[in-house]
Amino acid sequence: MKIKILIPLYNDWQSLLKLLENINHQIDNTDMVFSILVVNDGSIEKIPQRFPDCSKFNSIKIMNLKNNIGHARCIATGLKYIMENDEFDYVIPMDSDGEDRPEEIKDLIQKTETNLELPVVCERIKRSEGTLFKLCYFFHKLITKTFTGKSIRFGNFTCLPKIIIKKMIEEKATWSSFSGALSKISKDKIAVSSERGTRYFGPSKMSFKNLIVHSLSIISVFKYNVLIRSILFFFVYLFLIYEKISVITLIPLLLIIIFNLLVFVISRRENLENYRKSNLNILDVKTVK
């Protein structure tokens, strides 16, 4: 079995080197063939001259992008490149900072044995972030479930069979939201329990603004569900406040309108034509092992 591990990265080479060492240790005593593709999202920091001696990897490649395009589009670009250029059975996207735990890679792969064509996703049962982030994440899940009807409890850390990759690279939502696109194209998934790891070095680079855009990007994949449910809410709410209409009671309706506008604006990030041209942003692909 050939496994490709896809790692998007921006200025976090120190974490990457430690991650590679940890993955190499975790996949010891397996008969599967592992290889690494790092998508360098226009990092300002220089690529390290030396990489750890990772004997269990068949190869380590670094795809250097000309322009910074963001986490989701890095993964999308990497998936398209792998599909078009490599031989593989499964792709495992994961972050470079240690929050996706290498210890869980074997769990992901083992679950594929129950159904070779279904994606395996990591559903977080324990998180390592602060209270504010956990609270924001709770509201994100609540709003997503309420307005889309989807319970999306996973991120990028997944194990994707080739049949799913084929669908992903033909789905415009992949260019904007990985987890949203995967939920759209694959209703059935295999879930494994996962703990959010702690970062190897430094604080999280996820700002509050980026967190909101990330949340809206997932929700916008199902924008018509959002619109339909919002309209239903309008009618029910207006019926309930019919005799008590005031500036105050109309505030929830204004918030729903703003929310829908934001969702439809963010949905413009989905662009299949730009996705198909993503290879034009690849500067080069270097083999370091």
| pLDDT, tens digit, 9 for 90 and up, residues 233-282 | 999 999 999 888 899 999 999 999 999 999 999 999 999 999 999 999 99
N-to-C CA span, the chain: 20
| pLDDT band of 126, cuts 50, 70, 90 | low
In this prediction, residue 175 carries a pLDDT of: 97
Strand order in 57-65's β-sheet? 190-195, 120-126, 154-161, 90-93, 2-9, 33-40, 57-65, 282-287
CB 93 within 8 A of CB 4: no
Q: Please state the rounded mean pLDDT for residues 102-118.
A: 92
| pLDDT band of 129, cuts 50, 70, 90 | low
C-alpha closest to that of 92 among 26, 41, 188: 26
In this prediction, residue 230 carries a pLDDT of: 96
Position 177 pLDDT exceeds 80 = yes
In this prediction, residue 52 carries a pLDDT of: 84
Q: Please state the rounded mean pLDDT for residues 119-130.
A: 78
In this prediction, residue 289 carries a pLDDT of: 85
Residues near 188 by Cβ (< 8 Å), separated by ≥ 6?
118
In this prediction, residue 54 carries a pLDDT of: 86
Position 207 pLDDT exceeds 70 = no
Residue 178: Cβ within 10 Å count: 27
